Amino acid sequence: MRWKGRAQSENVEDRRGRGGLIGRKSTSFGGIAFFGVLLLFLFFGQGKNLLNIGGDSTSQEQAPSQQRTDGKQDEAAEFIRVVLKLSEEVWGNIFARSNAHYQQPKLVIFSNSVVSACGRTSSGAGPFYCPGDNKIYIDPSFFSELTRMGGKGDFAKAYVIAHELGHHIQSLQGISDKVTRMQQRMSKMKSNQMSVRLELQADCYAGIWAHHTEKKHHILEQGDIEEAINAAYAIGDDHMQKRAGMGVNAASFTHGSSKQRAHWLKIGMLHGDVSKCDTFADLR
């Protein structure tokens, strides 16, 4: 992916180096559930109590820390800023075409743990979007984890950021609220199925980002598309269950199978069109 030297977003808060000690207390949630059950809890705000175990009040917002200057971490931060900037252009244009204003999200870079309107969260939960404050939260150390899981390369990382941005779009569209309300009246299994639809739509929206960014800026290099699709495979629920040594249990899926995730990402990349990302269509 050709991203170096591109314009960077101003909408990034760098909170690395803060909250580390408290973060260690809450690492009991870490490592297992990123992009899975725990993230779902965060996303729907159901995990508030659960996530507060490790710390005191969730209302202490911390001031952005000084940016650290160590090489690898800073390259990751620069990369995040570039992807966010490109997304501001893509989604700004898409909203403008329907005469709507795109409310740009803030993105918080953190290390160890972070406090958001969704509670206190440790890095182990993976990147997440909190609809309560319209912010995306990413600990760049997740990218090494993604590589270990089979999601190698820059474009795989971009897909993860674009997926979280997809949740922001869903929040602006009122889709996430609607789904949450529906889930309150559903069985666990049905509720999981709704989560899968929401997640697959975020994957499709990530594809939309890729489609328009490539069209305008020609950022893709040989192998990039495969990188993103491999990442989508790697974080599919079936793949993650197998990787954790568990049997594959489709009823417990919250994010979709590897095949579904790769499919919807491809749909977004192919069409670049929100109307093609209707993962709820057959419910109507």
Residue 82 CB, nearest approach to Zn ion (Å): 21
Residue with tokens 């789904």: 179
Residue 43 CB, nearest approach to Zn ion (Å): 7
Alpha-helical (H) ranges within the chain are 20-25, 37-43, 48-52, 71-97, 142-149, 154-173, 175-183, 188-217, 224-234, 237-243, 258-271
DSSP string, 34-66: TTSHHHHHHHTTTTHHHHHTTSS-TT-PPPPPP
Question: Binding marks (x or -) toward Zn ion, 125..144, rule CB under 5 A?
Answer: --------------------
Residue 281 CB, nearest approach to Zn ion (Å): 19
Token pair belonging to 112: 């160890």
Which lies closer to Zn ion via its Cβ, residue 139 or residue 199? Answer: 199
Question: Binding marks (x or -) toward Zn ion, 161..200, rule CB under 5 A?
Answer: --------------------------------------x-
Q: Which stretch binds Zn ion (CB under 5 A): 25-33, 62-70, 201-209, 262-270?
A: 201-209
Applying the rule CB under 5 A, the residues between 96 and 125 that interact with Zn ion are none
CB 74 within 8 A of CB 14: no
192 closest CA partner among 43, 30, 34: 43
Residue 25 CB, nearest approach to Zn ion (Å): 25
Residue 130 CB, nearest approach to Zn ion (Å): 12
CB 208 within 8 A of CB 95: no
* Site residues (vs Zn ion, CB under 5 A): 199, 202
